[in-house]
Amino acid sequence: MDAELKELAVSLFEIDAFKFGEFVTKVGLKTPIYFDLRVLVSHPKIMARLAKMLWTFAEEYPDVAQICGVPYTALPLATLISIDSNVPMLIKRKEAKAYGTKKIIEGNFKQGDNCVIIEDVVTSGSSVLETAHILRKEGLKVTEAFVVIDREQNGKQNIENYGIRVKSLYTTTRLLAYLLETNKITPKIVKDVTDYLLKFQAPIIPLQDKRLKIPFRIRASKAKNAIASKLFDLMESKQSTICLAADLTKADAVIELADLTGPHIVLFKTHVDILEDFSNDFIKRLKELAKKHNFLIMEDRKFADIGNTVSLQYEKGMYKIAEWADIVTVHAIAGQSIIDGLKNGLQKISEPRGLFILAEMSSKGALTIDEYALGAVTIAQSSDMVAGIVCQSNIFSNLGFVQLTPGVKLSQGSDNTGQQYNTPEFVVNSGADLAVIGRGRCTNL
């Protein structure tokens, strides 16, 4: 088996299924290692060998009734396994159909069927856990995941914490050893990759049922940021986990909405630059309502420039956001300097302020994935200005952070501009503390 794995590792290397050296991902992060098993579809013989070797793990689990490949790279592997082993296959959609049966799982199965998840690469484990959550919700048992490569960045531990055993053909360490033995890479590459893995570990994903049972008042004491602590206290006292998005273009309409919903929400989200009639009076009226109804204001500015520029955007200009917004949203793309820039913009502000780092977005095809999301969490951990993380899944373990999840609607679906919606139940099960509602018309406050 070891000799076969070594030979297959060389074959995968030669078709560029993984690369080593100085590499920049499509989201701009530098990494010495990159896996791309999507190229397998152009090499059917290698793909067939890989699928057959992956399925050898099933010898230990004779009661497998279904298999399910994580979309999309693992689907061809799962298909080959299904054909070769005659085990039925299920397909989990990226999102539920908005028509017909509105299924999110395609295929025939019975309640209680044991389903094995097939995955290509595990980093944080979130994709496997998301798939397992959907399968279990449909009544299937999920106790095993067969994986091609375990990147050794806490993904296996995260998955196994949820009662799913992980079997992988390769770990990154073993893969490096095989390729070094066959002179495909140098000792320097091994060191670079090893150092990278030690530095960029995925956060441990806490057990969701345990996390969601921790009272907000206790989590308030865990927060380093004063605004995060205040948010937790508001969620506790108002018994609300709603952030309302005011995507309106008239100042009076925004004020009317804030007055109507204020008693029921903890956070009011604005896009001040879409207002057609912005004025200082608008800010004054909004702050009065925030005080009257006891909610915080978040300007969803999504800062994404160099430190000096964001400092000026935050403090200066016609909007003077630093003067009135309790919270702002920030992209991680510029790195740590963007937080330093925002802090500089608060030199004349005495009130507490916080920011939310965008780690994952709810729009279709967003590039905020994999290493980008992990990098965003790493940046967030380093500053007491950060109140929380904007994300779609439970990718951090810090109980003092608020998880803010946008794209909430009473039914799953998407709009014609790429916004993807999930149900309140789904986002809570994905770790959300605060759910953003607005255009999705989730109106049962």
305 is catalytic: yes
Amino acid identity, position 368? T
pLDDT at 369 over 80: no
Q: Which of 118, 186, 111, 121 is nearest to 150 (CA)?
A: 121
User: Locate tokens 């779609």: which residue?
Assistant: 392
- Going by pLDDT thresholds of 50, 70 and 90, the confidence category of residue 410 is low
pLDDT band at 172; cut points 50, 70, 90: very high
Residue type, 219: R
pLDDT score at 116: 98
Q: Where are the beta strands (DSSP E) in 60-201?
A: 66-69, 89-92, 105-106, 114-122, 141-150, 165-171
433 catalytic? Reply is no
Selection from 134, 66, 58 nearest residue 103 by Cα: 134
- Determine the pLDDT at residue 101: 54
How many CB atoms sit inside 10 A of residue 59's CB? 7
Percentage of residues in the chain with pLDDT exceeding 90?
66
Confidence of residue 206 (pLDDT cuts 50, 70, 90): low
The answer on pLDDT for 399 being more than 70 is: yes
Residues forming beta bridges with residue 166, ordered by sequence position? 145
The dihedral through the CA atoms of 368, 371, 374, 378 has a sign that is: negative
Mean pLDDT of 175-182: 97
Q: How many residues does the chain have?
A: 445
Residue 393 has what DSSP assignment? S
The CATH class given to the 2-199 domain equals alpha beta
- 304-360 tens-digit pLDDT: 999 999 999 999 999 999 999 999 999 999 888 999 999 999 999 999 999 999 998
Residue 403 is predicted with a pLDDT of 93
User: What number does CATH give the domain 210-437?
Assistant: 3.20.20.70
Catalytic hit among 113, 300, 326, 370? 300
At 18-36, the pLDDT tens digits run 998 887 654 445 789 999 9
The pLDDT assigned to 431 comes to 82
Q: Is 60 exposed, middle or buried (CB count within 10 Å of its CB: 0-12, 13-18, 19+)?
A: exposed
Better-scored residue on pLDDT, 314 or 393 = 314
Q: What is the mean pLDDT of the chain?
A: 89
360 with 391: CB under 8 angstroms? Answer: yes
Q: Binding site for substrate: which residues?
A: 247, 269, 362, 419, 438-439
Residue 197 near residue 152, CB atoms below 8 Å: yes
User: 445 falls in which pLDDT band (50, 70, 90)?
Assistant: very low
In this prediction, residue 127 carries a pLDDT of 86
The answer on pLDDT for 435 being more than 60 is yes
pLDDT at 284 over 70: yes
Active-site position among 6, 167, 224, 302: 302
In this prediction, residue 161 has a pLDDT band, given cuts at 50, 70 and 90, of: confident
| Six token digits for residue 294 | 């006891």
pLDDT at position 377 is 85
Annotated domain spans of the chain? 2-199, 210-437
How confident is the model at residue 426, as a pLDDT?
78
Residue 178: its pLDDT value, please?
A: 97
Give the model confidence (pLDDT) of 125-152 as tens digits: 888 988 998 898 888 999 999 999 999 9
Residue 184 appears among annotated catalytic residues = no
Residue tagged active-site, from 36, 233, 305, 384: 305
A 10 A CB-CB count for 398 gives 20
Mean pLDDT along residues 1-5:
92
Mean pLDDT, residues 97-122 taken together: 83
Per-residue pLDDT reduced to its tens digit, 180-190 = 999 999 999 99
Confidence tier at 416 by pLDDT (50, 70, 90): low
Q: Each residue of 46-102: pLDDT tens digit?
A: 999 999 999 999 999 889 999 999 988 999 999 999 999 999 999 997 655 444 555
